[in-house]
């Protein structure tokens, strides 16, 4: 099958690229990493005005969606420009609340989705006992964050809406979000606060423990079913951001090796360098049709395959970029680090490579999760 984006979709992507290019996102990312969310929130408002978040929200709740292909297209550009914030988590919340509404629980959607679509609220999400919004850091980074989402209490959430606390877990960008949701088994909670922020692999992906206390928004088997749909949308958004991240790394590296010289010639003229860059480009271009094919089908196995392929391609490209930049690539002051750490973080969020491969293989054998 051969399919291409239409003219309107290409124009939408080009408009986002132009807007984000003029926004100086590296400075916004660094401010976000330092705890100053004002520039990032202003950028989120511009993205909302462009209709990015409305793509995941049904028309009944002041959105224009769900439009997963256009959403994937937008997230590629957000990844290309390293936009900070809980992008995948906000879009997952939109999918979760929309599915709850479809299953006969419209209250949370009516309450939260219009503000999400308009960009007035930034939302983050924790699925306790399931896919984690952030997978923690490696020991080489100098800090360690526990898995997001700890094991739920054995007795589950109490039936009284305000009498029991949601389980503790680690939420992405809880300090920037205006709405923090927690799914614990069959319960959907609106959390009341969070603890001190902790570091992650990517300094702009800030983790915070959820405080005990909150409001139970919905309970029942429909919550767990909606959470499955949310995880599929989150993985699609992560895959698209990873592809954009890899493309940015490749573009920056091609430009760099064309300028850097050794032995009187550009480094980019060396055959070994060309081969490394060609391998990175092939991996990213292979991930692209998987991403948009998954956006068309929205089958969990397809999305899992797109996620692992795009994230592994971005991570391999990041390693190539780091090697070809030499010592300067290791410095936090150099902009390359913003995309390098992002590629590393996205690789294991909302499903590790092993988990996504297992789901993709199970889907081929008919044993995967049902379509969302």
Yes or no: say if 151 and 129 are a contact pair by the CB < 8 Å rule.
yes
User: CA 19 to CA 81: how far, in whole Å?
Assistant: 10
| Cβ atoms 328, 334 nearer than 8 A | yes
Question: For residue 238, what pLDDT is reported?
Answer: 98
Nearest of 49, 81, 78, 75 to residue 64 by alpha carbon = 49
Residues of the chain where predicted confidence (pLDDT) is lower than 70: 1-3, 129-168, 212-213, 367-372
pLDDT of residue 136: 39
pLDDT at site 160: 38
CB-based contacts of 195, cutoff 8 Å, min separation 6: 208, 209, 210, 211
Count other C-beta atoms under 10 Å from residue 1's C-beta: 5
Question: Would you state the pLDDT for residue 367?
Answer: 64
Largest interatomic CA distance in the chain = 74
Integer Cα distance of 282 and 212 in angstroms: 47
Strand partners, 261: 266
Cis status of the peptide bond prior to 66, with omega within 30 of 0: yes
Per the structure block, which two tokens stand in for 224?
């767990």
Beta carbons of 348 and 293 less than 8 angstroms apart:
no
Q: How far is CA 138 from CA 23, 25, 143, 233, in A?
A: 31, 26, 8, 26
Helix or strand (DSSP H, E) at 109: helix 107-118
Across the beta sheet with 214-219, the strand order is 123-128, 179-184, 187-191, 214-219
CA-based nearest residue to 158, from 147, 167, 150: 167
Residue carrying structure tokens 């971005």 = 314
């Amino acid at each position: 099958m051969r399919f291409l984006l239409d003219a309107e979709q290409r124009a939408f992507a080009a408009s986002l690229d132009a807007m984000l290019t003029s926004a100086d996102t590296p400075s916004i990312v660094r401010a976000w990493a330092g705890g100053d969310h004002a520039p990032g929130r202003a950028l989120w408002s511009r993205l909302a005005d462009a209709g990015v978040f409305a793509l995941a929200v049904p028309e009944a709740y002041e959105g224009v969606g769900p439009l997963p292909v256009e959403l994937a297209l937008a997230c590629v550009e957000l990844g290309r420009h390293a936009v900070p914030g809980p992008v995948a988590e906000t879009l997952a919340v939109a999918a979760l609340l929309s599915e709850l509404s479809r299953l006969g629980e419209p209250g949370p959607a009516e309450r939260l989705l219009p503000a999400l679509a308009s960009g007035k609220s930034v939302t983050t999400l924790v699925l306790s006992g399931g896919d984690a919004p952030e997978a923690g850091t490696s020991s080489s980074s100098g800090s360690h964050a526990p898995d997001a989402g700890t094991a739920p209490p054995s007795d589950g959430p109490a039936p009284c809406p305000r009498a029991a606390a949601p389980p503790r877990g680690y939420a992405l960008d809880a300090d920037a979000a205006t709405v923090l949701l927690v799914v614990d088994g069959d319960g959907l909670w609106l959390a009341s606060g969070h603890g001190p922020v902790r570091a992650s692999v990517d300094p702009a992906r800030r983790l915070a423990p959820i405080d005990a206390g909150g409001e139970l928004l919905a309970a029942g088997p429909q919550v767990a079913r909606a959470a499955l749909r949310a995880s599929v949308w989150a993985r699609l958004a992560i895959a698209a951001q990873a592809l954009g991240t890899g493309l940015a790394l490749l573009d920056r590296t091609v430009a760099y090796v064309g300028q850097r010289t050794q032995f009187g010639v550009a480094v980019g003229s060396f055959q070994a360098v060309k081969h490394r860059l060609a391998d990175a480009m092939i991996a990213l271009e292979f991930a692209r049709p998987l991403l948009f094919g998954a956006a068309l089908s929205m089958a969990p196995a397809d999305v899992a395959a797109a996620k692992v392929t795009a994230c592994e391609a971005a991570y391999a490209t990041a390693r190539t970029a780091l090697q070809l930049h030499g010592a300067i690539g290791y410095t936090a002051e150099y902009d390359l680090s913003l995309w390098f750490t992002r590629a590393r973080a996205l690789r294991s969020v909302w499903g590790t490579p092993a988990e996504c491969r297992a789901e993709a293989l199970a889907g081929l054998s008919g044993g995967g999760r049902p379509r969302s």
